[in-house]
Chains A and B, each alone.
Chain A
Amino acid sequence: MVIKELMNRFFTVVADPYSEAKRRKEQGQKVIGWLPTDVPEELIHAAGAFPVGILGSSNNIRLADTHLQVWVCSLMRSSLEMELCGDLDFLDGIIIPQTCDTTRALSGLWRKVCRTPYVEDFLLPKQVKRPSAREYLTGELARIKTSLEQVTGKKISDETLDTSIRLFNENRQLLRRMFEIHTHQPGLLTSREVYTVIKAAMYMDKAEHNGILRDLIRALEHKAAESAGTPDSKARLVISGGVWEPPEIMDLIEEAGGVVVGDDLLTGMRYLTPDVDEERNPLEALADRQLNKIPFGGFDNQNYERRRFLLDLVRNSEARGLIFLHLKFCEPENYDYNDMREALNSAGIPNLRLETEVANPSLGQIRTRLEAFIEMIGGNPIERTL
């Protein structure tokens, strides 16, 4: 099948993200949502339920404003809005990971003002390098496992959990393979296409996603061989931040002459690395996946230096610059930003900070700033027809 047709499938999914969840609900399967980030979907899957990401929407925020102050980030306000206006009525439950003060406070509020029958917190350890973190997290995962067993009425055996882990590992491996092809030949897919495939994985059945993704990779490999050696003039960029919202941001980057070849996003690389060790006790292996994830501002990163990580990422991706894509009012990012920027400046890596919101984006100014930045680092903007 041609790449375009396969991509259409993924675009259809992200345009109507909950059609599969609703279909499964009608068939009697339980649907458990999760807020970003780090909820172990494998456990939901192994409990026989359908895991699905709740990632905000571009709709106006009205109802949530009577519950949340305007200085709460738009990702959480928009996700609450989705529930309040009935868009998430199909959910049997939601797991809210506590990664910042907003998610920590939101879980209690969700219990009080939303209709979701089952609300569970995922209480992640915030320090990730001391032995106590691993022991605690393994226990916390066991607690979530029991909680899911109670709500689904299905016991999670080690075998079913292993099967789920293998399925999700395969998904991560395929996504990484697609990304690898993209970084070698960024002309084959657009940045928005690459990240749409990743986002679709958060809404789709993983086995189905794996199937289409396998076809896509085959088609990409074929095309890559055909077009090997074709020079690419786009400016290679790394993106750092939470989520790539609004999605049009990816188009703007490409139109300004850039291409995204690396990231540390919750809805990007953080979702597809690392794998879960299949040879180990599954809960301990899930804990290790969490503790070995790439740095994110929500967790103590003194030992796993986020600055060093970003410098390495830019170098390994052979990127010409880095764009911080920060959600307005995102505290973890806003505390880390200054030191990350200084490290990039000292290393001579051009960087730009863009502040976006999930709902009601105004993109005019962002376009201008992107064009100026990419022109400065030597990209060639695509001719725009107005």
Chain B
Amino acid sequence: MSEPFKTVALMKDLMSRYYDLGEEARRKGIPVVWVTAVFPVEIIYAMDLYPYYPENFGALASARKVADKLSMAAEAKGYFNDLCGYARCGIGDAYASEHPVGKILSPDLLLCCNTQCGSLPKWFEAAARFYNKPYFLWDSPYIEEQTSDLKQNYLIKQLYELINFLEVTTKRRFNIDKLREVVALSREATGLWNDCLEMAALKPAPFGFFDACIHMAPIVVWRGRREAVEYYRELKAEIEERLEKKIYAIPNERHKVYFDHIPVWPKLRWFADMFAANDTLVVASQYTQAWAMNFDPARPLETLAEHYPQQFVNRGVDYRLKLKVDFMRRYNCDGFVLFSNRSCKPNSIGLYDKKRMLTEMTGLPGVIFEGDMSDLRFFSEGQVKTRFETFFEQLG
């Protein structure tokens, strides 16, 4: 991980402003809308509602190493520790008497898209029952090879149903021109985010995957607002400045590797140090790249119905293999890391075979490790370390 960026202070301000806005929305009677990370939040911002990301809460609790405590509160109620760690954090916090990362903000409405997984809808359904609030699912059929008119029409129809649902429940009017503006802001921010991520391809690079994990919160929660654009403009400028001053992400970059998907949040620093100690920079992940979307503001609803449901996690094996290989080529990787994350079935099932296929396709060494993105009860440091020792030997 790089030396802390100046913009970290800016991000902290931005994130506390985001949380303050939530409290303010509650006081002013502006509906607090739960949304999933890969959801057309642009519609929520276009209607001046407040979007809240329970997954962000899960990631925060995980990074602060309290996911196990919150999960145990859910388990005591009758939920199970094999469910998604974020969901266990969210459900656990609803039942817990102690709130180690602050209380999860209760929703007035819950909106979910199942592009990411089937866990989120089940969590949101349970939450909708718990808080007794209306719930809407934007259902996104799987794309094995390519999408179809049938699927796209279904997605668009549902967006109209969603808008109608929001107008009825919030008594606010939806305005397509306002949506166009929000989508344009989203595109600008996601473009800048992509520019930042791309700088990891330089050798040596001033910015890597673990930096991206630290700096990704605004692209998730502020996407669609000017704040996100301003933030990533600052970040990009600072990365460029570091490049000029020859300040790099790790001191002695010899290798670049691709990391598939989400980090182990409570072990973020541990992983970053382990890679740095082996002169290896993690340069890309389909996870952080998921927010590098290129929307078309001229077709606001269509563009939303294309980009969100076509995320990698909703795609078939061949597409996902190609995506990983493309990242490895674009970022000149020397190897790849696959995370068999028991909290994320849709990304983890099939990885055992993909490891072999990826090596066949690229000739590069890979490593696969078992764990949980949130919960350290399912992480064996010794075992993971041993796996990686072999991997680093293969990298040379």
Contact = CB atoms under 8 A, between A and B. Distances in A.
Interface in B174-193: none
Given A109-B317, A335-B126, A300 B349 contact: no
B122 to A, nearest CB: 3
A339 B352 contact: no
A72 to B, nearest CB: 6
B122 A69 contact: no
A26 B352 CA distance: 36
B369 to A, nearest CB: 12
B349 A109 contact: yes
Contact of A126 (B79, B114, B352): B114
Interface stretch (A17-25, A129-137, A253-261): A129-137
Contacts of B128: 302
B393 interface: no
A297 B122 contact: yes
Given A69-B340, A101-B349, A300-B121, A331 B83 contact: yes
B381 interface: no
B353 to A, nearest CB: 6
A331 B139 contact: no
Contact of B119 (A68, A101, A108): A101
Contact of B317 (A108, A123, A139): A108
Contact of B137 (A105, A127, A297, A334): A127
A298 B118 CA distance: 8
Interface in B335-368: 340, 342, 345-346, 348-350, 352-353, 357
B317 A71 contact: no
Residue of B118, B119, B151, B370 with highest tally of chain A CB at under 10 A: B118
B91 to A, nearest CB: 8
A338 B95 CA distance: 12
Given A98-B142, A331-B122, A109 B161 contact: no
A71 B342 CA distance: 7
Contacts of A135: 154, 157
A123 B125 contact: no
Given A112-B353, A132-B158, A143-B150, A337 B78 contact: yes
A81 to B, nearest CB: 14
Interface string A83-126: 00000000000000010111011111101110000000101011
Contact of B345 (A105, A113, A143, A335): A105
Interface string B143-170: 0100010110110011001000000000
A126 B125 CA distance: 12
Contact of A104 (B118, B129, B154): B118
A69 B123 contact: no
A365 interface: no
Contacts of A131: 157, 161
Contact of B83 (A112, A130, A143, A335): A335
A199 interface: no
Given A69-B349, A101-B346, A104-B118, A335 B78 contact: no
Contacts of B21: none
Residue of A98, A121, A335 with highest tally of chain B CB at under 10 A: A335
B123 A335 contact: yes
A108 B122 contact: no
A246 interface: no
A302 B125 contact: yes
A132 B345 contact: no
Contact of B118 (A69, A100, A125): A100
A37 to B, nearest CB: 15
A329 interface: yes
Interface residues of B, number: 45
A336 interface: yes
A2 B355 CA distance: 57
B77 A331 contact: no
A102 B348 CA distance: 10
Contacts of B153: 136
B135 interface: yes
A125 B117 contact: no
Contacts of B82: 71, 329, 331, 334
B78 A338 contact: yes
B251 interface: no
Contacts of A104: 118, 142, 346
Contacts of B139: 125-127, 133, 300
Contacts of A163: none
Nearest to B128: A302
A334 B79 contact: yes
A79 to B, nearest CB: 14
Interface in B294-339: 316-317
B122 A332 contact: yes
B350 A108 contact: yes
A335 B125 contact: yes
A338 B122 contact: no
Residue of B346, B349, B350 with highest tally of chain A CB at under 10 A: B349
Contacts of B126: 335-336, 338-339
Contact of A136 (B150, B340, B346, B352): B150
Contacts of A101: 117-119, 345-346, 349
Nearest to A328: B82
B19 interface: no
Interface in A273-316: 297-298, 300-302
B270 interface: no
Contacts of B123: 335
Given A105-B350, A334-B79, 6 more contacts: A67-B352, A105-B345, A125-B139, A125-B154, A300-B135, A337-B80
CB-based closest 10 A-B pairs: A335-B122, A105-B349, A108-B317, A338-B78, A136-B154, A132-B157, A101-B345, A123-B141, A139-B150, A334-B80
27 contacts: A67-B350, A69-B340, A69-B348, A98-B141, A100-B118, A104-B346, A109-B353, A125-B154, A127-B137, A132-B154, A136-B141, A139-B150, A143-B150, A300-B121, A300-B135, A300-B137, A302-B135, A334-B80, A334-B82, A335-B79, A336-B122, A336-B125, A336-B126, A337-B78, A337-B80, A338-B77, A339-B129
Interface of B: 77-80, 82-83, 87, 114, 117-119, 121-123, 125-126, 128-129, 135, 137, 139, 141-142, 144, 148, 150-151, 153-154, 157-158, 161, 316-317, 340, 342, 345-346, 348-350, 352-353, 357, 370
